[in-house]
Amino acid sequence: MSFTAETLTSLIPLVVLLPLFGAIANGLFGHRLPRPFVSFVACGVVFVSFLLSVWAFVALHGDPSTTGLKNTLYTWFASGNARVEVTFLVDRLSSVMILVVTGVGFLIHLYSVGYMAHDPSLARYFAYLNLFTFAMLTLVLADSLPLMFLGWEGVGLCSYLLIGFWFTETEKAAAGKKAFVVNRIGDFGFLVAMMLLLRFAGTLNIDQIHKAVTAGSISVALATGVCLMLFLGATGKSAQLPLYVWLPDAMAGPTPVSALIHAATMVTAGVYMVARMGFLFSIAPIAMLTVALVGAATALFAATIGTAQNDIKKVLAYSTVSQLGFMFIAAGVGAYAIAIFHLATHAFFKACLFLGSGSVIHGMSGEQDIRQMGGLRRKMPITFWTFFLATLAITGFPLTAGFISKDAILWSAFAADMGKFADVFGGGTAKVLWTIGALSAGCTAFYMWRLVYMTFFSGELRARPEVRDHVHESPWTMTLPLGVLALLSMVGGALCWPPLFGGHEGLVEWLAPVLGHLPLPEGEHQGLEIGTMAAAFALALFGFAVATVMYARRIHPAVATFIAERPWRWLYLRLAGKWHVDELYETTVIQPLCWGSRVVLYEGLDKRVIDGSVNLVGWLSRKVGFLGQLFQSGNIQRYLAIFAVGVAILLYGWLTPSRPTSIEPAPAKPTAAVQRLVPAAPALPGIPGGGR
């Protein structure tokens, strides 16, 4: 085992660097290589990374005493006592994450071979996709916050490149920019958190921060500030309120990109970061409560919007935002392992749903409006059945992967006021979290079955004739990943089978050395757990029933009339308009920023101050130059005249006699007016002229 561990430790960097090699190869030389070879390189490097990830997981599982495998490549930088090294860590948590990233990522790469078969920029697409995988693997294997932030920014950059992949279309390019800008807001919080830790804890190494928390060197106030800033970063990357607005617009990219970014990798980075830093969150009750409440609010808010969307990918996008909210509920109540469990199962069924929607779009010649679909189950049977199974999972059909992981979250939220963090979630807060989560599950069932009925049932295909005649099933490179993901959506719950059904919560026990044990109440509460499970399932069943009545065939006239009346029509318009949050941001944030940038910065500072100063210098130069222009006209006669005048002045000054330098002042002669005012002096005898 020691030889295997040493060998594996030396190979850990390959898990990260192989996708980077694929990105460089296809980015620099892909346009000159045959398209099959480009696809082979892109898929091959991710598949080899997956095999190495499996090896790492098996090695850790085979030796329970091994806490992790580390490989330090070099020292990145040192500042004072802080030293940051490029170190990749494979422990129990990161081993699960790299399995998800490389496993689901490989299936998405394989799917892309068929989906992007006719795109002229195939090499550029696979270069971006490999680069994205490299950045995500860097993020999850990082041993320090700066290295994690490097991967964090890397996935942000790649999301901008992939969302705006078809950048010649203005709308798609704008969606990429929106994702990039919104994520920068969250990244500011991550940077502030690192600065606080470096200033007051003196380290950015995750293991050393953990030791400082254990030793009591980090105060609750510092931990709260750091955790709130880290969670601000998570709200941007994992699309939580109020920074969720970029993710629905990110559907502008190719559908495999949506599956990779919004199912298995980038949007789960925030959840992973909170779980990785769970030891710090656990001593910051205000931060934990904030995480749980924001997650619950996001889960319900996004689920309500999903009930009225008509773009097949937009429905799934809001579903992703909602499911991420569930993960943050679990993380907020301290059930970090359950959050990672739902992260894994969500990767299975949501990747299957996104790839299934891509198969539908591919077969429908690019059509994405579900109102133009219908009856596709006969024309695309493989896509239909895989989509159907994944829908069972996400809506919580008993014993599916989604049912097991979602119920674990809801039970954790319900029991939060009876466990380790009772003082944080007491006073009914835990029950509020459960209620919001259960309502969100009911909305999820409604909008997902609405999507299934309008896409695959609801009578005949409603598309245009030219589209209807060319509907076809996707090639095997697309249907094979769908089949694998659909199977995982069914059996993925076995990763953490609950004791209620005779299981041992394998994933929770596996992650316990890193994330701690689930802080559920002690004692027997099976009856209460069964009751909460039944209540949540009843709400999901109600959502399914409403969707069936409204969309299985056609809306009943009485139901249609009821919906068309107020206030239901008002509510529908608000939901279809996504609660007008984008318009609210446009009015309160974007327009004031544009006005301030234009009036204050551009017209005030730039034009008047900066440009005015530069222009003043030019104006003065021109005026001075105008005076010189009088003497530099190029006219010979004028030059001779000026020369003559100058000579004359010099001669005059030379020939004029010099005056004495000191002259006695002559006595002032009285003026006539003064003489009239002053009387004449009397004449003195013997002196002619009197006294004059």
Closest CA to 523 of 403, 415, 405: 415
Distance in angstroms (rounded) separating the CA atoms of residues 334 and 512? 12
Q: Percentage of residues in the chain with pLDDT exceeding 70?
A: 91
pLDDT higher than threshold 50 for residue 1: no
Task: Give pLDDT, residue 670.
Answer: 58
- What average pLDDT does the segment 351-370 reach? 92
Which residues is 91 bridged to in the sheet? Answer: 68
pLDDT higher than threshold 50 for residue 687: no
pLDDT higher than threshold 50 for residue 566: yes
DSSP state of 530: H
pLDDT higher than threshold 90 for residue 237: yes
pLDDT higher than threshold 60 for residue 21: yes
DSSP string, 563-625: HHSTTHHHHHHHHHTGGGHHHHHIIIIIHHHHHIIIIIIIIIIIIIIIHHHHHHHHHHHHHHH
pLDDT higher than threshold 80 for residue 80: no
pLDDT higher than threshold 60 for residue 151: yes
Q: What is the pLDDT of residues 297-332, one digit of tens each?
A: 999 999 999 999 999 999 999 999 999 999 999 999
**In this structure, is residue 392 part of a structural domain?**
yes
Task: Give pLDDT, residue 684.
Answer: 47
Task: Give pLDDT, residue 664.
Answer: 55
Give the pLDDT band of residue 676 (cuts 50, 70, 90).
Answer: low
- What average pLDDT does the segment 342-355 reach? 95
Phi, psi for residue 419 in degrees, rounded to 5: -115, -145
| Whole-prediction pTM | 0.87
Which residues is 311 bridged to in the sheet? Answer: 369
pLDDT higher than threshold 60 for residue 661: no
**In this structure, is residue 133 part of a structural domain?**
no
Instruction: Collapse the DSSP code of 69 into the 3-class scheme (helix H, G, I; strand E, B; otherwise coil) and give the result.
Output: strand
pLDDT higher than threshold 50 for residue 214: yes
Closest CA to 200 of 180, 219, 228: 219
**In this structure, is residue 48 part of a structural domain?**
no
Which two three-digit tokens encode residue 669? 């002669």
Task: Give pLDDT, residue 564.
Answer: 63
pLDDT higher than threshold 80 for residue 207: yes
Q: What is the pLDDT of residues 435-478, one digit of tens each?
A: 999 999 999 999 999 999 999 987 778 888 878 878 889 999 99
Give the pLDDT band of residue 61 (cuts 50, 70, 90).
Answer: confident
Task: Give pLDDT, residue 208.
Answer: 94
pLDDT higher than threshold 80 for residue 125: yes
Task: Give pLDDT, residue 123.
Answer: 96
**In this structure, is residue 365 part of a structural domain?**
yes
DSSP string, 251-320: GGS-HHHHHIIIIISGGGHHHHHHHHTHHHHTT-HHHHHHHHHHHHHHHHHHHHHHTT--BHHHHHHHHH
- Summary mean pLDDT of the chain: 88
Which residues is 83 bridged to in the sheet? Answer: 78
Give the pLDDT band of residue 225 (cuts 50, 70, 90).
Answer: very high
Q: Decide: 151 and 266 in contact? Cβ < 8 Å.
A: no
Range of the domain at 413: 339-557
Of 92-96, 513-517, 518-522, the range with the highest mean pLDDT is: 92-96
Cα pseudo-dihedral 438, 411, 519, 284, rounded to 10: 10
- What average pLDDT does the segment 239-251 reach? 92
Give the pLDDT band of residue 264 (cuts 50, 70, 90).
Answer: low
Task: Give pLDDT, residue 85.
Answer: 93
Instruction: Collapse the DSSP code of 85 into the 3-class scheme (helix H, G, I; strand E, B; otherwise coil) and give the result.
Output: strand
Instruction: Collapse the DSSP code of 685 into the 3-class scheme (helix H, G, I; strand E, B; otherwise coil) and give the result.
Output: coil
How many domains, in total, are found in the chain?
1
∠ Cα 79 82 85 (to 5°): 95
**In this structure, is residue 520 part of a structural domain?**
yes
pLDDT higher than threshold 80 for residue 40: yes
**In this structure, is residue 466 part of a structural domain?**
yes
**In this structure, is residue 489 part of a structural domain?**
yes
**In this structure, is residue 627 part of a structural domain?**
no
pLDDT higher than threshold 50 for residue 154: yes
Q: Output helix, strand, coil percentages for the chain, rounded to the nearest 5.
A: 75, 5, 20
Which two three-digit tokens encode residue 665? 């002042």
Q: What is the pLDDT of residues 610-644, one digit of tens each?
A: 888 888 888 888 878 777 776 677 778 877 888 88
Phi, psi for residue 204 in degrees, rounded to 5: -125, 5
Task: Give pLDDT, residue 105.
Answer: 94
pLDDT higher than threshold 80 for residue 289: yes
